[in-house]
Structure 1
Amino acid sequence: MAATNDPFQFQEFEEAGNLLEVNRDATTISIEDDGPEPQKQRNAAGYSPDADNDDPLGTDDTAELLSGQKKNAPFWTFEYYQKFFDIETHHVKERIFGSMMPWPGKNFIHVYLRRNPDLYGPFWICITFVFAIAISGNISNFLVHSGKPNYRYTPEFRKVTIAATAIFSYAWLLPLALWGLLLWRSNKVMSLVSYSFMEIVCAYGYSLSIYVPAVVLWILPYEWLRWCSIVVALCLSGSVLVMTFWPAVRDDHPKIIIAIMSGIVLLNVLLALGCKTYFFSTPEDSHPDGK
Structure 2
Amino acid sequence: MASADQLQFQEFDEAEDLLATTPNATTKSVSEEARPQHATLQMGGDSDGEEGETDQTELLAPQKKTSGFWTFQYYQDLFDVDTSQVLDRIRASFIPMPGRNFVRHHLRNNPDLYGPFWICATLVITVTVVGNLATFIQMHGKPDYNYSPQFHKVTVAGIVIYSYAWLVPLALWGFLQWRKGVSSGVSTYSFMETVCVYGYSLSAYIPSTVLCVVPYEIFRWIILLVAMCLSGFVLIFAFWPHVRRDNKMVAIGTLASIALLHVLLAVGCKGTHQQDFTFGPKERLS
TM class by shorter-chain length?
A: 0.7 to 0.9
Structure 2 partner of 1:280 = 273
Q: Does 1:114 align with 2:108?
A: yes
User: Match of 1:281, as an amino acid?
Assistant: Q
Deviations 1:220-260 (A, max 9, x none): 11011101101111110111100000011000001110110
Q: Does 1:248 align with 2:242?
A: yes
The CA deviation at 1:288 is 8.0
CA contact (8 A) 1:217 1:226 kept: yes
Counterparts of 1:74 and 1:106, CA distance in 2: 31
SS in 2 for 1:103: coil
Structure 1 partner of 2:224 = 230
Counterparts of 1:85 and 1:261, CA distance in 2: 29
SS in 2 for 1:116: coil
The CA deviation at 1:190 is 2.2
Q: How many residues align?
A: 222
Aligned pair partner of 1:123 in 108, 117, 121: 117
The CA deviation at 1:75 is 1.9
The CA deviation at 1:274 is 1.7
Q: Does 1:143 align with 2:163?
A: no
Counterparts of 2:146 and 2:276, CA distance in 1: 14
Q: 1:87 to 1:185 in 2, by over 3 A?
A: same
Aligned pair partner of 1:207 in 201, 208, 213: 201
Q: 1:173 to 1:69 in 2, by over 3 A?
A: closer
User: Match of 2:208, as an amino acid?
Assistant: A
Deviations 1:192-247 (A, max 9, x none): 22200000000000000000000001111101110110111111011110000001
Counterparts of 2:64 and 2:99, CA distance in 1: 35
Counterparts of 1:238 and 1:165, CA distance in 2: 21
Aligned pair partner of 2:260 in 244, 255, 266: 266
User: Match of 1:186, as an amino acid?
Assistant: K
Structure 2 partner of 1:59 = none
Counterparts of 1:111 and 1:84, CA distance in 2: 18
Structure 1 residues without counterparts, runs of 5 or longer: 1-67
Cα RMSD (Å): 1.9
User: Match of 1:207, as an amino acid?
Assistant: S
Structure 2 partner of 1:55 = none
Greater Rg, structure 1 or structure 2?
A: 1
SS in 1 for 2:146: coil
CA contact (8 A) 2:130 2:212 kept: yes
Q: 1:161 to 1:285 in 2, by over 3 A?
A: closer
Structure 2 residues without counterparts, runs of 5 or longer: 1-62
The CA deviation at 1:285 is 7.6
SS in 2 for 1:198: helix
CA contact (8 A) 1:117 1:202 kept: yes
Q: 1:247 to 1:288 in 2, by over 3 A?
A: farther
TM-score normalised over the length of structure 1: 0.72
Identical aligned pairs, as a percentage? 50
Structure 2 partner of 1:218 = 212
Q: 1:157 to 1:285 in 2, by over 3 A?
A: closer
CA contact (8 A) 1:151 1:290 kept: no
